[in-house]
Amino acid sequence: MKKYDASSWEVLNRLLDQALELEPPAIDSWLESLPPEYQALKPELKRLLWRHARSETNDFLATLPKLDLPPETESPPRTEQPGDEIGPYRLERELGSGGMGVVWLATRTDGLLQRPVALKLPHGAWRRAGLAECMAREREILASLTHPNIAHLVYASVTAAVQPYLTTEYVEGTRVAVYCRERQLGIRLRLELFA
């Protein structure tokens, strides 16, 4: 990729905004009609438009690189089931799973809090180096955040087997990816939603 100065990026951004306002079939003729002073920017503009079009197909996530962990660091199968107790919480149902852990809907078994919480457990390889520290960092970050759109940290601890976990307020809703897919949001609207 060619290096551009700040003023060139400013022009590229403006041109990109213009192009994205057009219907896809009109973009090629628009590119060809650009005045001569923009000819040096056309290759980068084409590359950016190609990347945008590719992301709009929703298959770009399938091409993300996969992490191949050596067998000794792979997570053993999860053993948690609905009804299991983690500290003072009973697992009700799985809400979601990601790269680092699984999130459960949970309720307190001791009756101290009557509201459900989202309980995050690291995947089975939680003993591997650095994961406990990662969870501790996440706990500290969550505890310091105060914003109406961020779930508040409720509780963080470790189980009798020294497995770290944390709980946040449970917010009923639809996953962002599902929301975007159901409404067929393009990349621009997805970024606005994210912002």
| Spatial distance between the Cα atoms of 94 and 106, rounded to a whole number of angstroms | 9
- Per-residue pLDDT of 73-94, as tens digits, reads 444 455 789 999 999 999 999 9
Least confident range from 54-68, 89-103, 137-151: namely 54-68
Distance, in Å, from the CA atom of 152 to the CA atom of 141, rounded to the nearest integer, reads 11
Select from 114, 115, 94, 90 the least CA-distant residue to 104: 94
| CATH class assigned to 71-169 | alpha beta
Torsion sign (Cα): 82, 86, 87, 93: negative
* Residue 38: how many other CB atoms lie within 10 Å: 13
State the pTM of this model.
0.53
Give helix then strand counts, H and E, for the chain.
6, 6
167 pairs with which residues across the strands? 119, 155
Per the DSSP assignment, residues forming a β-bridge with 91 are 106
* Element housing 166 (H / E): strand 164-169
- Residue bearing the bigger pLDDT, 58 or 133: 133
Quick check: helix, strand or coil at residue 157? strand
What is the rounded CA–CA span in Å between residue 84 and residue 92? 8
37-69 pLDDT, tens digit per residue, is 998 888 888 888 887 776 665 554 444 444 344
Lowest mean pLDDT among 37-46, 91-100, 141-150: 141-150
What is d(CA 169, CA 166) in angstroms, rounded to the nearest whole number?
A: 10
